[in-house]
Structure 1
């Protein structure tokens, strides 16, 4: 019987345990360049079996929040090299989450102050994080997007390819493609955000096309064994919606089986909220989606996320329902989370006021138990 604390191999990545650090946006990289604070933050958490970094935009167009690190500037790649070197020296494994936010952005963050892009020109009922002229950070309504012309899609696929290559050049063990939480790939998937009438809209076969093409571009560049993907079939995050998500995501994962991915990372329920949240008339069948992936020949590690604690995470792995469990907020305030979980030690609470922006307080100053 496997244990949450056993080693395994995730694609081509050997990991010391089955506890992953989920991606967490922290807005502490001004100029899109990782800095000393980021190096310390990730190094402190290197005991995770696998670190998935915060979302890392593949281009300026893909950026939706201020002070997040990127992968499209030479200085950003150099900054990430320092992070990966520190994590590897501490014995950890780390992949970066490559990200295009689509419509969840603000004109102040876009090239030349332009409109964000999306499958369709539908404004998200959501917020983003910007820097005011006086240097203070604040949440702001997302800007109205414009619909992508079909001729622009190959350029975005090329940005994903370049970002994957940049990640490997920066020393990452691989990448996680962000296809969750109402961002660009998820916007193409969901009928609530995709009203296109061309080859990328309408039927579920058309709506999964962009996601599959992104995966194809990335895996051709760095290989499936270094590529994972994150999905969130029913989350309402960033105004994402679809009344019939089961056949949509069953189809998607069955197509992903063709790429020999390292892992599938699944947010169960509403991101950061209720695990039993559903869209449409029926509860989502999580085991059925996993079965669809396996039946299609998918062999990647199945990673689950959202509201897990020690007992439920251990049960998920021991039962075979999951291969890994990722934890988000618990890693903010518990840099040594794997040790605390294995020894059943008390967990520290996080200060929500320091989640986004700022400096070391609430970022690198949480103590370990030792």
Structure 2
């Protein structure tokens, strides 16, 4: 099999309620969906890059350019549709992990559909129930924060992450912990603090969160390791882990006890599995993180979340919690309160619908050689 064509679609989906992180507030989310076609089969992948270069330097616009100009031509010129072949062929392209992951995930979905297997099994996981977590953004008031966390708890979510930033940290964590003392809680800073904030961030330890996620900049593992030495609470790394080499370095420095594995951030499913396996072998807890994926990415994440070291609840909750319509025909739904389960259908088990607004679309077909 060879890839006959690559279809790229920029889409926009409406959120069920506004979401705010340390940088901005959202009412809609723009996504780039990649489809690869081969011998009558199609595979789907979602690019997790955002509209803004705050979480990562990549955006949906840069990803579109890299996919159209460089990555898709490589795949269209490749001798087969294997995602590992593609990843090896584009190793000379520096960075752009989220663009690479979108195409690589589409190839994994295609591979699983061709094999007649659910994607979770193609990755080495099993069709098992997965505990799910909810993310609550920065709310206008403490009362609204407590209401949002309470709604997540009442819906059965097994863990809640709240976003924090300077000026919105100690009080929100204290109040959530007081209101919900038994609820596993992650305080996620998205690298909002600097080394001068070490003592301040350390005060969150007394509230007993499950983890403090990415308190410092992605390259500041020294300060992160210093924090971890001070805390009973686990430090969780997110932006710091762009691949296996990063988690190996963090482990050597004893900079964390938990890793949030995001498929887009590490460049695709193959690298995500490698990070998972290293953490399994070295006693580091893991879960699958998310960036408000629509149905395609959410189902891909769910497949990864079935691997054995995903011991903490993952961000693979039902699409209806986040989107009015997430653009797939069989999205993620709760099998029972707090748990989801992959479909038995081949691949991610879903196709695109017209439930999202298409902003831009293009189809690329085979040409003689990839751009260099």
**TM-score, length basis structure 1:** 0.44
| Alignment TM-score, normalising by the size of structure 2 | 0.44
Query: Greater relative contact order (Cα 8 A, min sep 6): structure 1 or 2?
Result: 2
